[in-house]
Amino acid sequence: MRCPSCGSLDTQVKDSRPTEDSNAIRRRRVCISCNFRFTTFERVQLRELTVIKRNGRRSPFDRDKLMRSVQVALRKRQVDPERVEQMVSKIVRELESLGENDVSSETIGESVMAHLRDLDDVAYVRFASVYRNFREPQDFKNALDELSGPEDDSDGGGDGPRRAAPERK
């Protein structure tokens, strides 16, 4: 493993342990050359996924890019990072278990939206606004209507979000 500080290939594993969800191995490493300490994660990869973009372009699937996009949607939301990690791992496992090496960006986006919907309503709307390229306020209203479901349509307004926002201090 290359040292992120000095670039040396001479590194040593000091400690290995599974993550809480046992989907990865966390390794503490130290560079022999500069004594820099760093952590790496090792995950099982069932298949090499390729993302087919909307314009037809192909690119390798990048788990870190998926994680970053989810974290942007969750910015300033009080969601346990471990739950986010578990959600991203679950999405990746679902994509790998589809049986195909080629996965459309639409499949990935819809999967992320389904999982965010269960995790955090605000993050769901944020992600949907970028993924679906919202252009007008009605697009946001439609996304909110998707969250409220049919039971709230009878009184015309709904009774607020499904989950209460965390109390601010």
- pLDDT tens column, 54-104: 899 999 999 999 999 999 999 999 999 889 988 998 999 899 888 889 999
The answer to whether residues 119 and 99 belong to one domain is: yes
The answer to whether residues 53 and 136 belong to one domain is: yes
CA dist., res. 39 & res. 47, Å (int): 24
The answer to whether residues 81 and 14 belong to one domain is: no
145-154: long-range pairs with CB below 8 Å, 24+ = 147/117, 147/121
Cβ-based neighbour number of residue 95 at 10 Å:
20
The answer to whether residues 60 and 127 belong to one domain is: yes
Tell which residue, 46, 162, 51, has the closest CA to residue 112. 51
The answer to whether residue 166 is domain-embedded is no
The answer to whether residues 134 and 60 belong to one domain is: yes
Strand-pair category, 102-104 with 58-60: unpaired
161 pLDDT above the threshold of 50: no
The answer to whether residues 69 and 38 belong to one domain is: no
Give phi and psi for 78, each to the nearest 5.
Answer: -90, 80
CA dist., res. 34 & res. 11, Å (int): 10
> Higher-confidence residue: 27 or 149?
27
The answer to whether residues 98 and 134 belong to one domain is: yes
Distances (CA, A) of 37 to 13, 27, 164: 10, 11, 41
The answer to whether residues 64 and 16 belong to one domain is: no
Tell me if the pTM is above 0.75. no
143 pLDDT above the threshold of 60: yes
Out of 8-17, 28-37, 45-54, least confident range: 45-54
Tally of structural domains, the chain: 2
Helix, strand, coil shares of the chain, percent, nearest 5, are: 40, 20, 40
The answer to whether residue 167 is domain-embedded is no
The answer to whether residues 63 and 129 belong to one domain is: yes
Tell which residue, 62, 52, 67, has the closest CA to residue 100. 52
> Which residue range forms the structural domain that includes residue 17?
8-44
Q: Are 79 and 71 in contact (CB under 8 A)?
A: no
Residues of the chain above pLDDT 90, percent = 55
The answer to whether residues 34 and 94 belong to one domain is: no
The answer to whether residues 66 and 135 belong to one domain is: yes
Q: What is the mean pLDDT of residues 23-48?
A: 86
The answer to whether residues 26 and 98 belong to one domain is: no
Strand-pair category, 37-43 with 11-18: unpaired
